[in-house]
Amino acid sequence: MELDAFEIIQNGIPVYVTYMTAKQLSDLKKIKVDIFKREDEEGYQREISNKRSEEFAKYVINAKGISPISILLNVRKKINFVRINGYHGKLNIPDDSYMWIVDGQHRRQGLLIAIKDREEYENYQIPIVITNLVTTYEEAKQFIIINKTQKGVRSDLAERLLSRIFEEEENIISQMPSTVTRGITWMPKAIEISEKLNERKDSVWYKKIRFPNEPKLTTISSQKSFTESLRPIIKNEIYEHYNVEEITELLVRYWNAISELCPNAFNLPNEHLIQKTIGIFTLHRLFPLVISYCGEKVTKERIEEILSKMEKGMNDNYWNNNGQIGLAGTNQKAFNIIYQKLSEYLEKGNEKKTKKKRLFEL
């Protein structure tokens, strides 16, 4: 494919500005989206939302809308630019290469819908920016930065990829915008713990956490909510001394102890809130306090003993959808109120054993 384009240089890296018609963008064999697949940890984008695409098509057709924001494409194979006059020239993209949509997949899909509805939109022109980043990793980094800096975007895939950047290029984190790097110090650990809890057959969270692009089925919590709820544990100065395997083991014991005290809440999860957002946020916040009462050896039985002394909070009725918890709301203010109540119930019948940096052994 040959395109008229302008070459601009950013920090020594060439970027090409051009345009394409909707018909050119409709080539599904040439222009692709790298969808995330959990089974092999490949890809980095969500499955396309038909609703968002249809809304864009309606905007273009019914409102005669324009789309001045460019679609970002990346070619992983080497491309060739021939200057003609100044920065203008011909951009040659190898016929055997793909063009990967880094940003703009819903706009492209919306244009395909528009073409199907009205043939005249085949000539609809849209700005295109093309990069020549040779690895999927570099391409995915651009996707993260774009999505994490857009107001209102909450992407669980972005979090997973952000954690990968932290692992592979920790030195560049300080140079990124704070809106991109929020949570970077604790999120990778939280994601890994979430995955392990979801994979352990002895955990009440076995196959209950929904990861990117997975169907809801019998899952209860999204990966994003679950990882965010772990923040008070991961950032606690005591748990900085424990690795992923140790914290996972503690959480398995903790949740299994809770399930012994509230069996119906786990057997009938749709009728209770204990494994939903309000439950995981408040109970994970309570976790360090519970463990502090256990002493040097933390077993499921010891945790259950501690929790059983609570005046309220550890029975099925407390977590029922129709109970007081169900009326509390789902914002941080509500979580704080419930946590305060739970901690009060916990403190009435228990005595802390130690305040050492590393409290206990598994």
Q: Are 282 and 342 spatial neighbours (Cβ–Cβ below 8 Å)?
A: yes
CA distance 29 to 33: 11
Q: Which residue has the higher pLDDT, 202 or 325?
A: 202
pLDDT-derived band at 141 (thresholds 50, 70, 90) equals: confident
The counts of H helices and E strands in the chain are: 15, 10
Q: What is the pLDDT of residue 165?
A: 63
Q: Are 250 and 230 spatial neighbours (Cβ–Cβ below 8 Å)?
A: no
Q: What is the pLDDT of residue 155?
A: 53
CA distance 13 to 345: 59
Of 56-60, 156-160, 259-263, 332-336, which gets the smallest average pLDDT? 156-160
Q: What is the pLDDT of residue 184?
A: 62
At 301-310, the pLDDT tens digits run: 999 999 999 9
- Collect all residues with Cβ–Cβ distance below 8 Å to 104 and sequence separation of at least 6: 69, 70, 71, 72
Q: What is the pLDDT of residue 159?
A: 62
CA distance 122 to 234: 52
Axis crossing angle, helix 187-199 with helix 244-261, rounded to the nearest 10? 50
CB atoms within 10 A of CB 174: 8
Q: Which two tokens stand for residue 308?
A: 């059983």
CB atoms within 10 A of CB 217: 8
Give the pTM: 0.62
Q: What is the pLDDT of residue 349?
A: 72
Q: What is the pLDDT of residue 174?
A: 54
CA distance 29 to 281: 44
Kind and range of the H or E run holding 210:
strand 209-210
Q: What is the pLDDT of residue 187?
A: 83
Q: Which two tokens stand for residue 179?
A: 């809106």
pLDDT-derived band at 154 (thresholds 50, 70, 90) equals: very low
| Domain residue extents for the chain | 2-134, 136-185, 195-348
Q: Are 164 and 142 spatial neighbours (Cβ–Cβ below 8 Å)?
A: no
Residue 1 pLDDT more than 50? yes
Q: What is the pLDDT of residue 205?
A: 97
At 69-88, the pLDDT tens digits run: 999 999 999 999 999 999 99
CA distance 147 to 222: 19
Please give the share of the chain, as a percent, with pLDDT higher than 70. Answer: 85
103 — phi, psi (to 5°)?
Answer: -145, 125
**Ordered DSSP codes for 166-183:** HHH-GGGGGGS-HHHHTT
